[in-house]
Amino acid sequence: MAITAADVNKLRQETGAGMMDCKKALTEADGDFEKAKEILRKQGQKIADKRADNATAEGIVLAHVSPDGTTGKVIALACETEPVSKVADFQNLAMAIMSTAVTSDATDKATLLATPQADGRALQEHITDLMGKIGEKLDVASFETVSADKVVSYIHSNGKLGVLVGLNNTNGTDVTEVGKDIAMQIAAMKPVALDKDGVDATIVQREIEIGKEQARQEGKPEAMLEKIAMGKLNKFYKDNTLLNQEFVKDTSLTISQLLEKTSKGLTVSAFKRVAIG
Protein backbone atom coordinates (compact mmCIF):
# COMPACT_ATOMS: atom_id res chain seq x y z
CA MET A 1 0.00 0.00 0.00
CA ALA A 2 1.06 3.61 -0.56
CA ILE A 3 2.76 5.23 2.43
CA THR A 4 1.77 8.90 2.73
CA ALA A 5 3.73 11.74 4.31
CA ALA A 6 0.93 12.02 6.87
CA ASP A 7 1.44 8.37 7.85
CA VAL A 8 5.16 8.88 8.25
CA ASN A 9 4.65 12.03 10.31
CA LYS A 10 2.10 10.30 12.54
CA LEU A 11 4.52 7.45 13.28
CA ARG A 12 7.28 9.95 13.90
CA GLN A 13 5.11 11.83 16.39
CA GLU A 14 4.25 8.61 18.22
CA THR A 15 7.76 7.15 18.35
CA GLY A 16 10.18 10.06 18.00
CA ALA A 17 12.11 8.13 15.33
CA GLY A 18 13.53 9.87 12.26
CA MET A 19 11.40 10.46 9.16
CA MET A 20 13.39 8.07 6.97
CA ASP A 21 13.36 5.35 9.63
CA CYS A 22 9.60 5.76 10.00
CA LYS A 23 9.03 5.57 6.26
CA LYS A 24 11.21 2.47 5.98
CA ALA A 25 9.43 0.80 8.91
CA LEU A 26 5.96 1.57 7.50
CA THR A 27 6.98 0.27 4.10
CA GLU A 28 8.33 -2.95 5.59
CA ALA A 29 5.13 -3.30 7.67
CA ASP A 30 2.84 -2.63 4.69
CA GLY A 31 1.39 0.38 6.48
CA ASP A 32 0.58 -1.43 9.75
CA PHE A 33 1.44 1.06 12.51
CA GLU A 34 1.85 -1.49 15.29
CA LYS A 35 4.14 -3.64 13.16
CA ALA A 36 6.09 -0.53 12.18
CA LYS A 37 6.56 0.38 15.85
CA GLU A 38 7.83 -3.13 16.55
CA ILE A 39 10.28 -2.83 13.66
CA LEU A 40 11.61 0.42 15.11
CA ARG A 41 11.96 -1.19 18.54
CA LYS A 42 13.91 -4.09 17.05
CA GLN A 43 16.12 -1.52 15.35
CA GLY A 44 16.91 -0.08 18.77
CA GLN A 45 17.75 -3.54 20.09
CA LYS A 46 20.05 -4.23 17.13
CA ILE A 47 21.95 -1.05 17.87
CA ALA A 48 22.07 -1.93 21.56
CA ASP A 49 23.50 -5.37 20.76
CA LYS A 50 25.97 -4.01 18.20
CA ARG A 51 27.31 -1.29 20.48
CA ALA A 52 27.18 -3.23 23.76
CA ASP A 53 30.96 -3.06 24.24
CA ASN A 54 31.30 0.63 23.38
CA ALA A 55 32.59 3.00 26.06
CA THR A 56 30.13 5.48 27.57
CA ALA A 57 32.21 8.34 28.93
CA GLU A 58 29.66 11.13 28.49
CA GLY A 59 26.22 11.77 29.92
CA ILE A 60 24.41 13.39 32.81
CA VAL A 61 24.05 12.86 36.57
CA LEU A 62 20.85 13.88 38.36
CA ALA A 63 20.03 13.88 42.07
CA HIS A 64 16.79 14.24 44.02
CA VAL A 65 16.13 14.63 47.73
CA SER A 66 12.68 13.95 49.18
CA PRO A 67 10.67 16.93 50.49
CA ASP A 68 11.30 15.86 54.09
CA GLY A 69 15.04 15.69 53.39
CA THR A 70 15.48 12.11 54.58
CA THR A 71 15.93 10.20 51.31
CA GLY A 72 18.18 10.99 48.37
CA LYS A 73 18.54 9.31 45.01
CA VAL A 74 21.11 9.83 42.27
CA ILE A 75 21.20 8.43 38.74
CA ALA A 76 23.78 8.58 35.96
CA LEU A 77 22.66 8.18 32.35
CA ALA A 78 25.67 7.61 30.13
CA CYS A 79 26.17 7.84 26.36
CA GLU A 80 29.09 7.63 23.95
CA THR A 81 29.54 11.25 22.82
CA GLU A 82 29.09 14.71 24.34
CA PRO A 83 26.74 16.05 21.60
CA VAL A 84 24.23 13.28 22.37
CA SER A 85 24.31 14.18 26.08
CA LYS A 86 23.07 17.66 25.15
CA VAL A 87 20.07 16.75 22.99
CA ALA A 88 16.56 17.17 24.39
CA ASP A 89 15.54 13.52 23.96
CA PHE A 90 18.52 12.36 26.03
CA GLN A 91 17.91 14.95 28.73
CA ASN A 92 14.21 14.09 28.83
CA LEU A 93 15.03 10.39 29.18
CA ALA A 94 17.35 11.15 32.10
CA MET A 95 14.57 13.09 33.82
CA ALA A 96 12.12 10.24 33.18
CA ILE A 97 14.58 7.79 34.77
CA MET A 98 14.98 10.11 37.76
CA SER A 99 11.19 10.42 38.07
CA THR A 100 10.84 6.64 38.00
CA ALA A 101 13.53 6.30 40.66
CA VAL A 102 11.69 8.78 42.89
CA THR A 103 8.17 7.40 42.46
CA SER A 104 8.97 3.69 42.47
CA ASP A 105 10.15 1.40 45.26
CA ALA A 106 13.25 0.44 43.28
CA THR A 107 16.44 0.26 45.34
CA ASP A 108 18.72 -1.26 42.71
CA LYS A 109 19.43 -0.77 39.03
CA ALA A 110 17.82 -4.00 37.80
CA THR A 111 14.53 -3.23 39.53
CA LEU A 112 14.60 0.35 38.28
CA LEU A 113 15.08 -0.73 34.67
CA ALA A 114 12.24 -3.25 34.96
CA THR A 115 9.79 -0.66 36.32
CA PRO A 116 6.76 -0.20 34.01
CA GLN A 117 6.19 3.20 32.46
CA ALA A 118 2.87 4.87 31.58
CA ASP A 119 2.50 2.70 28.47
CA GLY A 120 3.08 -0.50 30.48
CA ARG A 121 6.50 -1.14 28.97
CA ALA A 122 9.62 -1.41 31.14
CA LEU A 123 11.95 1.56 31.49
CA GLN A 124 14.73 -0.40 29.76
CA GLU A 125 12.56 -0.70 26.65
CA HIS A 126 12.27 3.08 26.45
CA ILE A 127 16.04 3.39 26.78
CA THR A 128 16.50 0.84 23.98
CA ASP A 129 14.02 2.75 21.81
CA LEU A 130 16.11 5.92 22.14
CA MET A 131 19.24 3.94 21.22
CA GLY A 132 17.53 3.14 17.93
CA LYS A 133 16.71 6.78 17.35
CA ILE A 134 20.08 8.22 18.40
CA GLY A 135 22.33 5.39 17.20
CA GLU A 136 24.48 5.27 20.34
CA LYS A 137 24.79 3.05 23.37
CA LEU A 138 22.88 4.45 26.36
CA ASP A 139 23.29 3.05 29.85
CA VAL A 140 22.07 3.77 33.35
CA ALA A 141 25.62 3.68 34.68
CA SER A 142 24.64 4.23 38.32
CA PHE A 143 21.62 4.33 40.60
CA GLU A 144 22.20 4.96 44.30
CA THR A 145 20.07 5.84 47.31
CA VAL A 146 20.84 7.23 50.77
CA SER A 147 18.50 7.56 53.75
CA ALA A 148 19.33 9.47 56.95
CA ASP A 149 18.06 12.14 59.33
CA LYS A 150 19.21 14.66 56.72
CA VAL A 151 20.32 13.96 53.15
CA VAL A 152 22.15 16.62 51.14
CA SER A 153 22.91 16.41 47.41
CA TYR A 154 25.49 18.10 45.20
CA ILE A 155 25.82 18.15 41.42
CA HIS A 156 29.11 19.41 40.01
CA SER A 157 28.98 22.21 37.43
CA ASN A 158 29.79 19.87 34.52
CA GLY A 159 26.68 17.79 35.25
CA LYS A 160 28.73 14.57 35.17
CA LEU A 161 29.38 14.17 38.90
CA GLY A 162 26.91 13.91 41.77
CA VAL A 163 27.12 13.23 45.51
CA LEU A 164 24.65 12.26 48.22
CA VAL A 165 25.55 12.64 51.90
CA GLY A 166 23.51 11.21 54.77
CA LEU A 167 23.82 12.90 58.18
CA ASN A 168 22.53 11.44 61.46
CA ASN A 169 22.15 12.80 64.99
CA THR A 170 21.32 16.26 63.67
CA ASN A 171 19.53 17.11 66.96
CA GLY A 172 17.43 19.81 65.36
CA THR A 173 20.46 21.63 63.92
CA ASP A 174 20.28 22.92 60.34
CA VAL A 175 23.14 20.94 58.79
CA THR A 176 22.43 21.83 55.16
CA GLU A 177 25.49 24.03 54.78
CA VAL A 178 27.95 21.60 56.35
CA GLY A 179 26.32 18.79 54.36
CA LYS A 180 26.96 20.70 51.15
CA ASP A 181 30.58 21.35 52.18
CA ILE A 182 31.09 17.65 52.89
CA ALA A 183 29.45 16.69 49.59
CA MET A 184 31.85 18.99 47.74
CA GLN A 185 34.72 17.45 49.72
CA ILE A 186 33.64 14.00 48.54
CA ALA A 187 33.38 15.22 44.95
CA ALA A 188 36.91 16.63 45.02
CA MET A 189 38.78 14.18 47.27
CA LYS A 190 37.16 10.86 46.24
CA PRO A 191 37.19 9.05 49.61
CA VAL A 192 36.91 5.27 49.30
CA ALA A 193 35.02 4.81 52.58
CA LEU A 194 33.74 6.60 55.67
CA ASP A 195 36.58 5.37 57.90
CA LYS A 196 39.16 2.59 57.95
CA ASP A 197 36.59 -0.01 58.99
CA GLY A 198 34.76 0.57 55.72
CA VAL A 199 37.77 0.04 53.43
CA ASP A 200 37.54 -3.16 51.41
CA ALA A 201 39.95 -5.87 52.57
CA THR A 202 41.42 -6.24 49.09
CA ILE A 203 42.32 -2.53 49.06
CA VAL A 204 43.93 -2.84 52.50
CA GLN A 205 46.02 -5.81 51.39
CA ARG A 206 47.01 -4.04 48.19
CA GLU A 207 48.20 -0.96 50.10
CA ILE A 208 50.20 -3.12 52.52
CA GLU A 209 51.93 -4.91 49.63
CA ILE A 210 52.63 -1.58 47.89
CA GLY A 211 54.08 -0.20 51.13
CA LYS A 212 56.33 -3.22 51.58
CA GLU A 213 57.57 -3.05 48.00
CA GLN A 214 58.31 0.68 48.26
CA ALA A 215 60.28 0.09 51.47
CA ARG A 216 62.10 -2.83 49.86
CA GLN A 217 63.05 -0.65 46.86
CA GLU A 218 64.39 1.94 49.32
CA GLY A 219 66.69 -0.71 50.75
CA LYS A 220 64.96 -1.08 54.12
CA PRO A 221 65.68 -4.28 56.11
CA GLU A 222 63.21 -7.10 55.47
CA ALA A 223 62.37 -7.25 59.19
CA MET A 224 61.13 -3.65 59.09
CA LEU A 225 58.92 -3.92 56.00
CA GLU A 226 55.72 -4.83 57.84
CA LYS A 227 56.02 -1.93 60.30
CA ILE A 228 56.83 0.54 57.52
CA ALA A 229 53.92 -0.73 55.42
CA MET A 230 51.50 -0.27 58.32
CA GLY A 231 52.67 3.30 58.71
CA LYS A 232 51.97 3.91 55.03
CA LEU A 233 48.56 2.24 55.43
CA ASN A 234 47.65 4.69 58.20
CA LYS A 235 48.63 7.53 55.86
CA PHE A 236 46.35 5.97 53.23
CA TYR A 237 43.46 5.97 55.72
CA LYS A 238 44.08 9.63 56.53
CA ASP A 239 44.07 10.64 52.87
CA ASN A 240 41.32 8.36 51.57
CA THR A 241 38.66 7.88 54.25
CA LEU A 242 36.18 10.71 54.60
CA LEU A 243 36.09 11.18 58.38
CA ASN A 244 39.90 11.24 58.58
CA GLN A 245 40.50 13.59 55.64
CA GLU A 246 41.48 17.19 56.25
CA PHE A 247 38.58 19.55 55.51
CA VAL A 248 39.60 21.29 52.27
CA LYS A 249 38.10 24.63 53.36
CA ASP A 250 39.91 24.57 56.72
CA THR A 251 42.82 22.13 56.91
CA SER A 252 43.12 22.61 60.67
CA LEU A 253 40.06 20.34 60.95
CA THR A 254 39.36 16.79 59.87
CA ILE A 255 35.86 16.02 58.63
CA SER A 256 35.20 14.20 61.89
CA GLN A 257 36.19 17.32 63.85
CA LEU A 258 34.08 19.52 61.55
CA LEU A 259 31.02 17.39 62.30
CA GLU A 260 31.59 17.54 66.06
CA LYS A 261 32.16 21.31 65.88
CA THR A 262 28.89 21.76 63.98
CA SER A 263 26.78 19.75 66.42
CA LYS A 264 27.88 17.34 69.15
CA GLY A 265 27.37 13.75 68.02
CA LEU A 266 26.68 14.68 64.35
CA THR A 267 27.79 11.87 62.05
CA VAL A 268 27.91 10.95 58.38
CA SER A 269 26.02 7.70 58.07
CA ALA A 270 26.64 7.12 54.35
CA PHE A 271 27.66 8.79 51.12
CA LYS A 272 27.49 8.01 47.42
CA ARG A 273 29.70 9.54 44.74
CA VAL A 274 28.57 8.97 41.16
CA ALA A 275 30.63 10.12 38.19
CA ILE A 276 30.62 9.64 34.42
CA GLY A 277 33.88 9.46 32.51
Grouped pLDDT means (10 residues each) for the chain, 277 residues: 82 79 85 85 76 89 97 97 95 97 95 94 91 89 97 97 98 95 98 96 96 94 94 96 97 98 96 96
For residues 231 and 255, membership in a common domain is answered with yes
For residues 200 and 262, membership in a common domain is answered with yes
Instruction: In whole angstroms, give the CA distance from residue 58 to residue 55.
Output: 9
Residue-level pLDDT at 44 = 73
For residues 67 and 126, membership in a common domain is answered with yes
Instruction: In whole angstroms, give the CA distance from residue 24 to residue 12.
Output: 12
Q: Name beta bridge partners: 225.
A: none
- Segments forming the whole domain that contains residue 246: 196-268
The CATH number that applies at residue 222 is: 1.10.286.20
Tens of pLDDT, residue by residue over 218-250, are: 999 999 999 999 999 999 999 999 999 999 999
Residue-level pLDDT at 65 = 98
Residue-level pLDDT at 117 = 94
Instruction: Evaluate whether residue 142 is within a structural domain.
Output: yes
Tens of pLDDT, residue by residue over 63-82, are: 999 999 999 999 999 999 99
pTM of the model: 0.82
Instruction: In whole angstroms, give the CA distance from residue 180 to residue 191.
Output: 16
Domain count along the chain? 3
Instruction: Evaluate whether residue 180 is within a structural domain.
Output: no
Instruction: Evaluate whether residue 220 is within a structural domain.
Output: yes
Residue-level pLDDT at 163 = 98
For residues 67 and 33, membership in a common domain is answered with no
The CATH number that applies at residue 110 is: 3.30.479.20
Instruction: Evaluate whether residue 190 is within a structural domain.
Output: no
Instruction: Evaluate whether residue 111 is within a structural domain.
Output: yes
Instruction: Evaluate whether residue 244 is within a structural domain.
Output: yes
Instruction: Evaluate whether residue 119 is within a structural domain.
Output: yes
Residue-level pLDDT at 77 = 98
Residue-level pLDDT at 152 = 98
For residues 210 and 263, membership in a common domain is answered with yes
